[in-house]
Chain A
Amino acid sequence: MTNGWVDIKNTDLMLIMGGNPAENHPCGFKWAIEAKRTRNAKMIVVDPRFTRTASVADYFCQIRAGADIAFLGGMIRYAIDNNYYAKEYLLNYTNAAFIVKEGFKLPDEDGVFSGFDAGKQSYDKSSWNYAAGDASGKPMHGAVAGTAAASLPERPAHDFTLQHPNCVFQLLRKHYSRYTPEMVERITGVPKEQFAKIAEVFTSIRKDGDMKKVATVIYAVGWTQHTFGTQIIRTAAMLQLLLGNVGRAGGGVNALRGHSNIQGATDMAGIFDNLPGYLKVPTPADSSFEGWMKRITPKPSKPGNWDSFNYYGNTPKFAVSLLKAFYGDAATKQNGWAYDYLPKVDRNYSWVELWDNMYNGIVKGLISFGMNGVAIGPNSKKNIDALKKADWLVVGEIYPDETSEFWRSPGITQEEMKQIQTTVYRLPCAGFAEKDGSFTNSARWLQWKNAALPPPGSARLDQDILAQIFLKLRELYKKESGKFPDPILNLAWTYTLPANPSLAEVLKEINGKALAELADPATKQEIKKGQQLPGFAWLKDDGTTSCGNWIDSGCYTEAGNQTARRDPSDPSGLGIHQAWAWSWPANRRVLYNRASCDVAGKPWDASRKQVWWSEATQKWVGNDVPDFKADSNPKDHMGPFIMNPEGVGRLFGPLAAFADGPFPEFYEPIESPVENALHPKQTNSPVITRFSTPDDKYAKASDGYDIICTTYRLTEHYHYWTKNNPMNVQLIPEPFIEIPVELADKLGIRGAEKIKISSVRGSYIAKAFVTKRIKPMTIDGKKVYQIGLPIHQGYRGVAEDEGKNARTLANLLSPTVYDPNSYTPEFKGFLVKVEKV
């Protein structure tokens, strides 16, 4: 979330799309209700199903699963055409005025941007860049000295009249000019009148450029779980930039994370291509620490008379401190901070690829903690087949789950079971209430929790298991050596109880400490060697600080564990709650909050004052912690989006920012009942990977798979483990599939009768939930049905063990394919057929 849960109460208008917070985030959803109740805020819900969130919405609009970019792109067009955008914000806080290089081409003709290599199925992104500007900002032609092709120009050309045909704003207008209400209707199935109504309600908050009102966008995995998920979110972010809603109380682009600590997992390098704090991993091409730093440390790129904080310019400080936290004294300036110890990521190790590798015999074993791999899919059968081929599997869980008992999957015969040679080790782990530690919520708050009770029986804490595996491994390396034992032998392991590290110690390590006496000449503040750091501003690239994750620095200071704070006071009434837990970065609650003020530093809306420029103190001050260089005078025109080298929000994502285009373009899901109405010859995203194992099949509507299936979660269950809890099982005892009344009538299916849905990969049997809440749609002139599939059941659980449920996994149906930016699989919107059992 750019903002936070509580902040939603400040909004005037909500667009909830690709998410169902009433069901999946009921506690946080109170703030949406609060906004409705106290501010008469309006709520728009756009979803393939009329959900429980929709039941409290002011406007509901049923959309085809996966058509979100068309819908949001249509909104961008609508806002521009009707002059519903924030002009001052757009000019000063976004790259709207930046001029894009000659040679950049939009996908309006053939569905691909410039630089596409059909053979490699990837883009040469050098044309996705700004033109370098001269002193007056006009584009210079030809090669510019000192500007490497792979980096942004130091002085991008710009045109503050926004008239230059190649300026971002004009390109944006041109790109989305194709997304007419008629086109939106053809793609999304939303009648153009209804679309116009929703677009009017949402974008008209910027009617006549009035900046007072604020709208927020709230989404969840309904957006991420597509082959173009990142681009959906980007379209929303661009719409919010256009409307001037980012950085403001009650605004922003807000991801609702699907688990209690998924934000924390992501922050701590949950994805293979980054290190803690979103530092980009080194690749084999980065031959030295310096080389790596040179590649990943951006340089400012801004119009000449502007300033740019370019906070990622501090990357070497973050990286050195991280390596000091990893390797302690073994990381020295001489050995490039033990850079050689860091694994170099040579290829894609994303989740789907790992299972594919295991299927193909490359990955031999799996340690699985806190997840149910075969159930969370996609394409469960492939994952089960992959585990059959593995040598070993270690599962740390609180229940016997589908992964640790993959060999019991329905369809595997006794004879086949005997053939499976995988050794399975099951480690009983502690449940969430049996562990302490911090959860990082969607609002980026790190909240400390205490253990409620000790783990039962022989169950152990995760960190104990991992520590003991590590210590054993180190012992073996010590004894037997190996190819390159140094990273393991020299890993810093300074916990009081090495075999049982306390999570408080780990959090202190993440926060970072001084390794030498430090002093800030400006404030005369001094920090003694060994003391906890007050925040990431203190990090150094000379080896005098260590920090496990720069964004979390400040969470555990000399003043104690900041994440354990529980002071609910909120003097401003804006839901900032500065002394409740701790929010990264630097305890600020709304990111980019400099953008809540006009160029002069005065809040756009006096009733929602977050931060402002104080002439008296010549500082940025406020109710929230300013997300800005505190002493940067507005006259210097520093951009509010300090993490971008441009200092401004990106309507155009230059260079390698995205794998699939600098502007989001609508592509069909990998399995779609229709061709892409924008460019039928380029239906799907051109850069997605299809897998080729026998378990990987992709269907076409012409094969008879013509019903769109979208998976989802129910409020009554939590993923795959509450089926072990009788209370949850009582609430929703059995699997079901939501199907429209019209489809049920056509197939002669009545409510609660058993039906079978099949994709080209597998089938799933459950009772039919015949509902009026999903309507048939007309997509590009074709009648299309959508159905909804809750994911919760499997073959282990209270009802499953009693033999009551069908025991199949929902993800037997979903395809192995993923977003090229985030590597998230496409669970939403694949094709199935439906039949009566």
Chain B
Amino acid sequence: MSQAALRIQKISGHAGSIPGEDTQRQFTVCKLVDTTTCIGCKACEVACMEWNDLPFGETVFDNSYQTMPETRWNYWNLILFNEHEREDGNMMLLMRKDQCMHCAEPGCLEACPADGAIVQYTNGVVDFQQDKCIGCGYCITGCPFNIPKLNKETKRVYKCTLCSDRVSEGLEPACIKACPTGCLHFGSKDDMKLLAEQRAKQLREHSNYPDAGVYDPAGVGGTGVIYVLHDAKNPELYGGLPANPRVPRSVRLWKGPLKWLGNVAMIGGVLGLAVHYLRYGPKESEEERHPGGTP
């Protein structure tokens, strides 16, 4: 959804001045992942690789349909498979498309020390600028969802861009385009939220999922990727989706109070020493203080 494309220029069937002319309608974009209709076909994984031209990597079968244990620097979209037995004995195969959540308050961005290496666009997309990345990996620590991954060779960190190149041209992300069942949706956050809530309500009322709900965690200010879950009370079942994700406390402490305190201490220390010097001066020997005298 290119912002430019949504500026109103003309309006049909309307007399008088054009309402909203030349104003920019800004909204945040959002992916909706309905895990209750995901069939784990991995079309999104393939579309992500193809669109972003990511190189192949080696994988190993590890007792799961899951392609690899977690996302990689060159694999940004991964369906996590989890077998779960409900209390009523019914089996579930939970499949969740894992990718960058595009948090409104991104921990990666907060933790990043490199000037402009992580940006958040007005449409909510959180994007890494690899040319500015210094490879420190603080974003890895800042992310509550285990998303940014370091390429050891280039020493840069990579992750889902929400296909910002496609989105800026008014196209949906590649994963959305490829999804065969319509489990993936893309639009404004408000619309997706509404759609998700409707679907969750339908699940609560018409199927055996009384705890169905929407995952849009407030701890990170809401996310640009929201989930419909069969069991919104236990998001951990879906491959460790955190129930209350937030930017790690230590990152917050470090970037907040500690930085403030440290800056005050450092500046204060230098000033203090300068004042000390002015007040007391150097430690002079007796001879220096009393030339010619003897100890």
From A29, A726, A731, contact of B67 by CB (8 A): A731
From A29, A60, A714, A770, contact of B181 by CB (8 A): A29
Chain A hits for B202, CB < 8 A: 37, 40
Chain B hits for A771, CB < 8 A: 63, 83
Q: Is the CB of A58 within 8 A of B207?
A: yes
Give residues 48-78 of A contacting B (CB, 8 Å).
Answer: 50, 52-56, 58, 60
Q: Chain B 143-185 against A: per-residue CB contact (8 Å), 1 yes, 0 no?
A: 0000000000000000000000000000000000000111100
Task: Name the residue of chain A whose CB is nearest to the CB of B40.
Answer: A52
Q: Chain A 11-51 against B: per-residue CB contact (8 Å), 1 yes, 0 no?
A: 00000000000110011011001101100100000000010
Chain B hits for A53, CB < 8 A: 39
Q: Is the CB of A37 within 8 A of B182?
A: yes
**A345 vs B83: C-alpha distance when bound (angstroms):** 52
Which of A399-407, A631-639, A732-740 has 4 or more CB atoms under 8 Å from chain B?
A: A732-740
Q: Chain A 236-279 against B: per-residue CB contact (8 Å), 1 yes, 0 no?
A: 00000000000000000000000000000000000000000000
**A716 vs B65: C-alpha distance when bound (angstroms):** 9
Chain A hits for B180, CB < 8 A: 26-27, 29-30
Give residues 50-65 of B contacting A (CB, 8 Å).
Answer: 50, 56-65
A837 to chain B, nearest CB (A): 15
From B38, B65, B91, contact of A60 by CB (8 A): B91
Q: Is the CB of A770 within 8 A of B182?
A: no
Q: Is the CB of A733 within 8 A of B181?
A: no
Task: Name the residue of chain B whose CB is nearest to the CB of A21.
Answer: B39
Given contacts A30-B181, A55-B95, A58-B208, contact A715 B41 (CB under 8 A): yes
Q: Is the CB of B42 within 8 A of A716?
A: yes
Given contacts A56-B36, A773-B83, contact A730 B63 (CB under 8 A): no
**A752 vs B64: C-alpha distance when bound (angstroms):** 9
Tell me if B279 counts as interface (CB < 8 A to partner A). no
Given contacts A33-B183, A732-B61, A773-B83, contact A26 B39 (CB under 8 A): yes
Chain B hits for A60, CB < 8 A: 90-91
Give residues 204-247 of B contacting A (CB, 8 Å).
Answer: 206-208
Q: Is the CB of A55 within 8 A of B92?
A: yes
**A56 vs B37: C-alpha distance when bound (angstroms):** 6
Q: Chain A 376-397 against B: per-residue CB contact (8 Å), 1 yes, 0 no?
A: 0000000000000000000000
Given contacts A52-B40, A52-B95, A54-B91, contact A731 B45 (CB under 8 A): yes
Given contacts A34-B182, A732-B65, A736-B61, contact A55 B208 (CB under 8 A): no
Chain B hits for A55, CB < 8 A: 39-40, 92-95
Tell me if A772 counts as interface (CB < 8 A to partner B). yes
Chain A hits for B95, CB < 8 A: 52, 55
Q: Is the CB of B41 within 8 A of A26?
A: yes
Tell me if B117 counts as interface (CB < 8 A to partner A). no
Q: Is the CB of A733 within 8 A of B90?
A: no
**A34 vs B179: C-alpha distance when bound (angstroms):** 13
Q: Is the CB of B67 within 8 A of A770?
A: no
Given contacts A727-B46, A772-B83, contact A37 B93 (CB under 8 A): no
Chain B hits for A715, CB < 8 A: 39-42
**A726 vs B57: C-alpha distance when bound (angstroms):** 9
Tell me if B49 counts as interface (CB < 8 A to partner A). yes
Tell me if B43 counts as interface (CB < 8 A to partner A). yes
Tell me if A448 counts as interface (CB < 8 A to partner B). no
Task: Name the residue of chain B whose CB is nearest to the CB of A771.
Answer: B83
* Interface residue tally for chain B (C-beta within 8 Å): 40
Determine which residue in A714, A768, A773 has the highest number of CB atoms from chain B within 10 A of its CB, and name it. A773
**A731 vs B49: C-alpha distance when bound (angstroms):** 11
Task: Name the residue of chain B whose CB is nearest to the CB of A714.
Answer: B65
Chain A hits for B65, CB < 8 A: 52, 714, 716, 732
Chain B hits for A736, CB < 8 A: 61
Tell me if B199 counts as interface (CB < 8 A to partner A). yes
Tell me if B88 counts as interface (CB < 8 A to partner A). no
Give residues 767-818 of A contacting B (CB, 8 Å).
Answer: 767-773
Tell me if B85 counts as interface (CB < 8 A to partner A). yes
Chain A hits for B85, CB < 8 A: 772
Q: Chain B 18-55 against A: per-residue CB contact (8 Å), 1 yes, 0 no?
A: 00000000000000000011111111011001100000
Q: Is the CB of A22 within 8 A of B39?
A: yes
Task: Name the residue of chain B whose CB is nearest to the CB of A51.
Answer: B93
Q: Is the interface of B mostly helix, strand, loop or mixed?
A: loop
From A36, A733, A769, contact of B63 by CB (8 A): A769
Given contacts A26-B43, A40-B202, A726-B56, contact A773 B91 (CB under 8 A): yes
A443 to chain B, nearest CB (A): 16
Chain A hits for B62, CB < 8 A: 751-752
Q: Is the CB of B199 within 8 A of A37?
A: yes
Q: Is the CB of A36 within 8 A of B91?
A: no
Chain A hits for B90, CB < 8 A: 60
**A629 vs B166: C-alpha distance when bound (angstroms):** 52
Q: Is the CB of A730 within 8 A of B56?
A: yes
Task: Name the residue of chain A whose CB is nearest to the CB of B208.
Answer: A58
A242 to chain B, nearest CB (A): 27
**A714 vs B38: C-alpha distance when bound (angstroms):** 16
Q: Chain B 63-94 against A: per-residue CB contact (8 Å), 1 yes, 0 no?
A: 11101000000000000000101000011111
Chain B hits for A54, CB < 8 A: 91, 93
From A23, A33, A752, contact of B61 by CB (8 A): A752
Determine which residue in A27, A52, A53, A769 has the highest number of CB atoms from chain B within 10 A of its CB, and name it. A52
Chain A hits for B61, CB < 8 A: 732-734, 736, 752, 767, 769
Given contacts A731-B45, A733-B58, contact A29 B91 (CB under 8 A): no
**A162 vs B59: C-alpha distance when bound (angstroms):** 63
Chain A hits for B37, CB < 8 A: 33, 36-37, 56
Q: Is the CB of B93 within 8 A of A773?
A: yes
Q: Is the CB of B63 within 8 A of A770?
A: yes
Chain A hits for B83, CB < 8 A: 771-773
**A726 vs B42: C-alpha distance when bound (angstroms):** 15
Task: Name the residue of chain A whose CB is nearest to the CB of B37.
Answer: A33
**A767 vs B93: C-alpha distance when bound (angstroms):** 20
From A37, A727, A730, A772, contact of B91 by CB (8 A): A772
A334 to chain B, nearest CB (A): 56
Chain B hits for A730, CB < 8 A: 56-59, 67
Determine which residue in B36, B40, B49 has the highest number of CB atoms from chain A within 10 A of its CB, and name it. B40
Q: Is the CB of A727 within 8 A of B56?
A: yes
**A503 vs B237: C-alpha distance when bound (angstroms):** 52
**A483 vs B60: C-alpha distance when bound (angstroms):** 59
Q: Is the CB of B63 within 8 A of A751?
A: yes
Q: Chain A 736-775 against B: per-residue CB contact (8 Å), 1 yes, 0 no?
A: 1000000000000001100000000000000111111100
Chain A hits for B39, CB < 8 A: 22-23, 26, 29, 33, 52-53, 55-56, 715
**A26 vs B182: C-alpha distance when bound (angstroms):** 11
Chain B hits for A751, CB < 8 A: 62-63
Chain A hits for B50, CB < 8 A: 727
**A811 vs B38: C-alpha distance when bound (angstroms):** 31
Chain B hits for A734, CB < 8 A: 60-61
**A770 vs B83: C-alpha distance when bound (angstroms):** 11
Given contacts A33-B181, A40-B202, A752-B63, contact A731 B42 (CB under 8 A): yes
A397 to chain B, nearest CB (A): 23
Chain A hits for B42, CB < 8 A: 715-716, 731
A186 to chain B, nearest CB (A): 21
**A715 vs B93: C-alpha distance when bound (angstroms):** 15
Chain B hits for A732, CB < 8 A: 61, 65, 67
**A727 vs B59: C-alpha distance when bound (angstroms):** 11
Chain A hits for B182, CB < 8 A: 30, 33-34, 37
**A29 vs B65: C-alpha distance when bound (angstroms):** 19
Question: Nearest 7 A-B pairs (CB), nearest first?
Answer: A751-B63, A22-B39, A55-B93, A26-B41, A734-B61, A33-B181, A40-B206
**Can you pick out 5 interface pairs between chain A and chain B where the beta carbons lie within 8 Å of each other?**
A33-B39, A36-B37, A60-B91, A715-B42, A732-B61
Question: A55-B95, A732-B65 are known contacts; what are 17 more A-B pairs with Cβ within 8 Å?
Answer: A23-B39, A29-B180, A29-B181, A30-B182, A33-B37, A36-B37, A37-B37, A52-B65, A60-B90, A716-B65, A727-B49, A731-B45, A731-B46, A767-B63, A769-B64, A772-B83, A772-B85
